[in-house]
Amino acid sequence: MKHLLDTASLSREDAIGILDIAEEMTLVSEREVKKLPVLRGRTVVNLFFEDSTRTRLSFEAAAKRLSADVLNFSAKGSSVSKGESLQDTIQTISAMGADAIVVRHSGAGTAHRLAHTGWIDVPVVNAGDGTHEHPTQALLDAFTLRRALAGVPASGPVTGGPRGQGLDGAKVAIVGDILHSRVARSNVHLLARLGADVHLIAPPTLLPWGVEDWPVTVHYDFDSALSAEDFAAVMMLRVQHERMHESFFPNEREYARLWGLSAARLAKLPESTFIMHPGPMNRGFEISAAAADSPRALVLDQVENGVSVRMAVLYRLLTGQEETND
């Protein structure tokens, strides 16, 4: 495994391997000194051409907990604003001694381009490319759900736990703006590869072309889907207004009424159903405060687990090992 560019090409074996390494990485947070020396002397570059809080900080924390040096690049205020090309930017950063590059870019396929053009010869991690994919988000979602279904706490020492397991038979609903969501695309591929039964719930205008060929069941009515299916988890998505250049629904109030996870819909869900959201959340729009703050909500667990999963990804790519020896 040279790069992590998407989940579409990630095998079940590799996915479970990363999740199992992440289980070991959670133990680091229990230490007095929250670090492992495994990447000492290595340099990880966070190359972000789009704004980000959770993903950038999570990758930075992950690299530092593995004792790597971190260089953070932001397109704002850089030579990119002066017209420097992507190739020159990448090769300049590579010349500074980068051992791995984490890239987020508005252009779909940018991570693939960096990995395969020959501009650099280091592992590339896709931290989100346009509306294409966001593989580490899907991995942390799967990690969080796997733990929750196994009754394992968000973090801390685990004996046995869900190691080696997929998500076979788990019924997962992804609700909202599927069309513009790279998180949804990555989750569809990964959850299906891990054996989950994936359902998409959205208005027709927010579903991508060709969705009928995806390994999913599509619903157009939220209430009907909740009545007909017994979901292990419901993952709400943010409506991405910044990627919309036309009207996809009448107004925000109408969207919240038909597609939001309101307190009333939350009350209809089985007590065993978990609530997920990749963030950032728009409370009162796609998700109510009651749902976001519910004891069944895994939102903060997703954030916490993101560090462990990204530690596992960097460890796997930079050492080539499938388990730690620490």
Residues noted as catalytic: 54-55, 82, 104, 134
Is 64 annotated to bind ligand? Answer: no
The answer to whether the annotation marks 316 as part of a ligand binding site is no
Confirm whether residue 137 is marked as ligand binding.
yes
Q: Was 238 annotated as part of a binding site?
A: yes
Task: Establish whether 43 is an annotated binding residue.
Answer: no
3-state SS of the chain is CCCECCCCCCCHHHHHHHHHHHHHHHHHHHCCCCCCCCCCCCEEEEEECCCCCHHHHHHHHHHHHCCCEEEEEECCCCHHHHCCCHHHHHHHHHHCCCCEEEEEECCCCHHHHHHHCCCCCCCEEEEEECCCECHHHHHHHHHHHHHHHCCCCCCCCCCCCCCCCCCCCCEEEEECCCCCCHHHHHHHHHHHHCCCEEEEECCHHHCCCCHHHCCCEEECCHHHHHHHCCCCEEEECCCCHHHCCCCCCCCHHHHHHHHCECHHHHHHCCCCCEEECCCCCCECCCECHHHHCCCCECHHHHHHHHHHHHHHHHHHHHHCCCCCCC
Q: Are 184 and 199 in contact (CB under 8 A)?
A: no
The answer to whether the beta carbons of residues 222 and 199 sit under 8 Å apart is no
Q: Which two tokens stand for residue 298?
A: 């895994």
The reply to whether 164 sits in an annotated binding site is no
Binding residues for carbamoyl phosphate: 54-55, 104, 134, 137, 279-280
Binding residues: 54-55, 82, 104, 134, 137, 182, 238, 279-280
